[in-house]
Structure 1
Amino acid sequence: MKKALYLILLLALVISIVAACSSNNEGSNNNASGTSDNITNDKATNDKATTDKATTDKATTDKEIVKVEFFQYKPEAVATYDALITKFETANPGIDVVQTNVPESETVLKVRVAKGEVPDIISVGGDAQFARLAQNDVLADLTDYSALASVIEGYKTTLKLITGTEEVYAVPFAANANGIIYNKGEFEALGLTVPTTSDEMDNVLAVVKAAGKVPFHLTFKDAWTALPAWNVFAASLQPATFYADRIAGTTTFAAAHKDLTTQYLEFMQNGQLGDRFKDGYNEGNAAFAKGASVMYLQGVWAIPEILKANPDIKLGVFPYPVSNDKSKNLLVSGVDSLFALSATTKYPDEAKLFIDFLIQTENAQQYTNEQKSFSAINGVFQNEEFYSDLKPIFEEGRIADFPDHYINGMDLAIIVQELMARKDVDTALGKMDVEYDKLANR
């Protein structure tokens, strides 16, 4: 009996121990599960916090970085502007300046304006395109902009004349000169000196041809490349009051420009044999640099590209000697690059900060040196030796602006390009009058 009771008590003890162990194991499992859940929840919380922080940081970054589009029309200046932009952004990390340079920039800009996609800063020449933008309220009025105090007064006046307003719609930055670029090495080899009259120019052309060389390499594939020479003939030989008289309706292109256009057409026959419409501006720069012709009918803006193609070439520039009366042989010079501000830009302060930077003496001098241009900024000078032939002209004040800058809206380049192809002076002048009247009567 005692033995049976002992066995019963022993069995009860084992059962209670097993039950206790089972309970402890369940508790341990529950605790393990709870710990795992806590770790998972903590990780999710941390991940969410990290994601939220990244989102916040990105939003902050996006908010802090302001993108300013800088639309400029000169392919030869892209590298110079890239360097200046890098310098500016280093000093202004909150501003991202995006340079836009595209082929057919005038057409592209016209389309973008029509779509309401106006770049924040627009850099074009002081020409009819600029006048249209200003007159159609695309550009902001900068008359009271402090940056204009750094600009040579005459260039501000030029912009007013171009737009026909008393307001100033841009900051003139660079000026140019439209002369005949020549290969000094070729001139020396042929025993030539710089001509100063039309008779002397005829002699230069005769000597060059007699030596079996090409006087001019022409690039009529790009219509506008026929204009540099036309501008000189018009500026030098048209009546001084021509544009005022044309506006008043007392003269016409046909009446006032026949002789000078005929002279211009004859002058342009001194180009290369064969297809003069095969090459455009870029091809022409490279061809002249490699010796395709002795002279080149382009403005000084082409010099950086010529030197890039042939760093060893010795260049000079002289005014077109279109007359035997030296006083009539003018150097055509105008605003080559300006900075205008969109009237609808969201970032006028940041855009002006970039313009302020560009016109600082050090930066304007860098542009002038690299682009071989003249500056519209006070205290910035052009000292290149190949401009020595132009110095007397500047000193004498024999300077005229580009005539095509005052023919607002007329596609003069196409008309002159057609003149080069058809050689019909009367038809070309008739088209000029028709187009001028059409635009004047809008």
Structure 2
Amino acid sequence: MKKYLSLSLLGSVLLNIAAPVMAQTTITVDSWRKDDAIWEQKIIPAFNKHHPEITVVYRSSDDSAQFDSELKSRFENGKAGDLIACRPFDGSLPLFEAGYLKEITEMNGIENFPSFAQAPWQTDSGAQTFCLPMASVIHGFMYNKDIFKKLGVTRPETNDEFFNVLERAKQEGYVPLAMGTKDKWEAATMGFQNIGPNFWKGEDGRFALIEGKERIDSEAYLNTFHHLKRWSKYLGNRYSSRTYADAISLFAEGKAAVYPAGSWDILTFKDKINLGVFKPPVEKRGDACYFSDHTDLGMGLNAKSKNAEAAQIFLEWMTTAEFANILTNEMSGFFSLSNHFFDVSDPIAQEMMSWRDECDSTIRSTAQHLSRMERDIWQTSIGVINKTMSPEMAVSKLYRGVSRWYLPQKNAKKKLTAEECEAL
């Protein structure tokens, strides 16, 4: 997929950006993402061509998993950055409701982002926007083309083909799937949320959960766990003690055939292996396909910033086609949510973007309204893969948990599975 940069559009947008601040000013960007080099070498220099009077410092967290708690402490102590990287939906909404993030509903340039892109950083009513949409990430599977060639296999399209490839890799002494369960989130994010949309039919299934039209212990989620259960056979020795970093090393060193992936890892493997990518498999060829194109990253203004004018100038520059181009091509695997046109140079990123033309996209099922269920998804995904929990136990645990606090799920009527219907 290609987008084309319009220089005339860029010029007109830049002319509308707020006038430069007069004195030299330093602003700080707080983020959980360790993209320091890209910000320091690409993004900040591009901005400084327009505003040399503003010094920008990018401050990433030492531990991304601790970013939320660290950020809350910084806000409370008045030490948060001027600009704040925003997680979607409930990841940032409480910060706005607490008065930490400034409303940007009418900010110059916000019109460059379609409504679906703004939704994760709006109040439930959609009346107020509190973070600028930045990027989405796409889920799928990366594979080693050289290993596939040695195995005599092609990238799979169906579930049967997927497991046949894994079996062939195992027979030839490769680790079929480079993933572990020690870091917990991987099993949920790169497992459950990766393959799940093809079972619960993307956005239709996600909204059915939210609205209470379908329960989390329904057949779609049971089948997702049954699929995930089969992964344990192909993860290699000691996978329960394998970390995210270990899995990356395993795949990068050419010891594993397939890597359950998020597009954020495109740069991780660039120039290290002969990299390919394929979509989450469907049941049979010709079936409608769904994949996670998750609205992952936004940027908000600290409502109590002492450098608010300079911070807003930078945020408004982030609404331009120039920034969208840099973001997508320098942070390969992070896809701009703006409606600007530009080239996508990385072939893997370009291929993953092309899935938008072939399949229906969705976001992670627990992102909106159901974020309190996220840790339960972690635990059940790990339990099923580690064979300490059956798929039936997993969906039962999820339902018991969510029904305690989410009324639409509590009141939802359970639909019988195909096996239960046959038994009647």
TM-score with structure 1 length normalisation?
A: 0.75
2:111 pairs with 1:149: yes
Q: Corresponding residue for 1:380? A: 342
2:118/2:133 contact within 8 Å kept:
yes
Question: Where do residues 13-412 of structure 1 align in structure 2 (5 Å cutoff)?
Answer: 64-75=23-34, 77-83=35-41, 84-89=43-48, 91-114=50-73, 116=76, 117=78, 118-126=80-88, 128-157=90-119, 159-160=121-122, 163=124, 165-226=126-187, 227-238=189-200, 241-249=204-212, 251-307=214-270, 311-324=271-284, 326-373=286-333, 374-377=335-338, 378-387=340-349, 389-390=351-352, 393-406=355-368, 407-412=370-375
List alignment gaps of at least 5 residues for structure 2: 1-21, 408-424
The structural deviation recorded for 1:296 is 0.4
In 2: Cα distance, 1:274 partner to 1:184 partner: 23
The structural deviation recorded for 1:388 is 5.8
Greater helix fraction, Structure 1 or Structure 2: 1
The structural deviation recorded for 1:70 is 0.6
The structural deviation recorded for 1:72 is 1.5
What's the RMSD between the two structures over aligned residues?
2.9
List alignment gaps of at least 5 residues for structure 1: 1-62
1:89/1:95 contact within 8 Å kept:
yes
Post-superposition CA distance 1:395-434 (Å, at most 9, x none)? 2342222213122233335323344332333443344334
Change (3 A) 1:203 1:387: farther
2:32/2:67 contact within 8 Å kept:
no
In 2: Cα distance, 1:135 partner to 1:319 partner: 38
In 2: Cα distance, 1:103 partner to 1:418 partner: 28
> Which amino acid is the alignment partner of residue 174 of structure 2?
K
Q: Corresponding residue for 2:10? A: none
Indicate the structure (1 or 2) with the bigger Cα radius of gyration: 1
In 2: Cα distance, 1:286 partner to 1:85 partner: 30
2:118/2:129 contact within 8 Å kept:
yes
In 2: Cα distance, 1:397 partner to 1:343 partner: 39
1:317/1:387 contact within 8 Å kept:
no
Change (3 A) 1:403 1:354: same
1:131/1:408 contact within 8 Å kept:
no
The structural deviation recorded for 1:109 is 2.6
1:232/1:330 contact within 8 Å kept:
no
The structural deviation recorded for 1:258 is 4.5
Change (3 A) 1:140 1:199: same
In 2: Cα distance, 1:259 partner to 1:367 partner: 38
TM-score with structure 2 length normalisation?
A: 0.78
> Which amino acid is the alignment partner of residue 361 of structure 1?
A
- The farther-off stretch of 361-370 and 250-259 is 250-259
Change (3 A) 1:251 1:330: closer
- Identity among equivalent pairs (%): 20
Q: Secondary structure at the match of 1:296?
A: strand
1:123/1:338 contact within 8 Å kept:
yes
Greater strand fraction, Structure 1 or Structure 2: 2
- The farther-off stretch of 279-288 and 185-194 is 279-288
Post-superposition CA distance 1:285-342 (Å, at most 9, x none)? 23211112111011110111122xxx24221211110422543431210223211222
Q: Secondary structure at the match of 2:342?
A: coil
In 2: Cα distance, 1:276 partner to 1:213 partner: 14
The structural deviation recorded for 1:198 is 1.5
Change (3 A) 1:436 1:397: same
The structural deviation recorded for 1:380 is 3.0
> Which amino acid is the alignment partner of residue 423 of structure 1?
M
Q: Secondary structure at the match of 1:196?
A: coil
